[in-house]
Amino acid sequence: MNLALIEDPYKTLGVKRGATEAEIKQAYFALVRKHPPEHDPEGFKRIRAAYEKLRAGDERAETDLFLIDEQAGTFNLTELQRFNAEPPPITPEMIRADLIALEAALLLEEALAAR
């Protein structure tokens, strides 16, 4: 395993992390048609290398294990989990209730301090 050299083969082939073998194959052949070895040898080499990493079970297991997953790591605002309540508006009743609670806290202190 060479951690330093891992390029995301999913990204290269333009498929999702959980893509099926058929999807990977389909994406690979589509890219090969776009970048045939005789016209774009470098491009083809990259595509081929990415395909090799995802083709066989063992290779794909290794890739999946050691690849830092960009798709899953990107924070998406739509996935933000919202709290089920909004902050309550400040009302005179709320203030009054808080002040009564504060007085209760002070009373508790005084009562026990008088021991």
Partner 1 sequence: MATRKKRQKYIRQVSPADLVKLAEDELRRGQVEEAIRNLTLAEKELKPRVRPDGKKITIPPHLAAAQTSLAPLMARALAAHALASLAPEQRLADFEEAARYAPDDTRYLLALGACRLLMGEAEAAYSHFQKADDAHPGDALVTRAFALGLLATGRAKEAGELIGQTLRERSDGAWRRLAAIHGLTNGGGANAQGDRLLSGLSHLAAGEAERAREQLDALPMPDHNPSRAEAARMATQLFYSGAIGFNARRYQAAAGDWREAQRLAQEHKLDLPWLDRLIAYYHKIAELTIQEDPALAVECWREALKTAPDDKAALANLVAVKRSQGLHAWNAGDIRLAAQIWLEALQNSPQDEQLLRCVAIACEKQNHKTEAVTHWRALARVWRRQVKSRASEAGFKDRLLRLEQHLVTLMLETGHDDQEIISELEAALKFDPENQKLRLQAAERLMEAGKSKQALKHLDEAEKQHGLSVELLIRRGIAVDMLGRHAEARKTFERAMHLDPASAQARRFFLLFLGQEVARASERGDAQRAMKLCEEQLALDPNFDQPMIRLASLYLKLGRKAEAKKMVERFLGADPDSPQKRVEAGDVYLDHGMKKEAETLFKKAIELDPSADCFTAIGISYLEANDLKKAINHFDLAAKTASVEMLIAIAMALTEEQRTRDAERFLNIAIERDPDHPMPHLLKGLFATFNPILLLLDPKRLNEAIKELAEAERLMTGKAEYEGILSEVRAARRFLEQGPSALLGSDNPFLFDDDDDDDDEPFFPDFPPSSVRKKKKRGRK
Cβ density class 71-100: b for 16+ within 10 Å, e for less? eeeeeeeeeeeeeeeeeeeeeeeeeeeeee
| CA dist., res. 10 & res. 16, Å (int) | 6
Q: Does 29 bind partner 1 (CB under 8 A)?
A: no
- What residues from 33 to 52 belong to the interface with partner 1 (CB under 8 A)? none
Q: Does 22 bind partner 1 (CB under 8 A)?
A: no
Which residues are near partner 1 by CB under 8 A? 1, 3-4, 18, 20-21, 57-58, 60-62, 64-66, 68-70, 72-75, 77, 79-88, 90-92, 95-112, 114-115
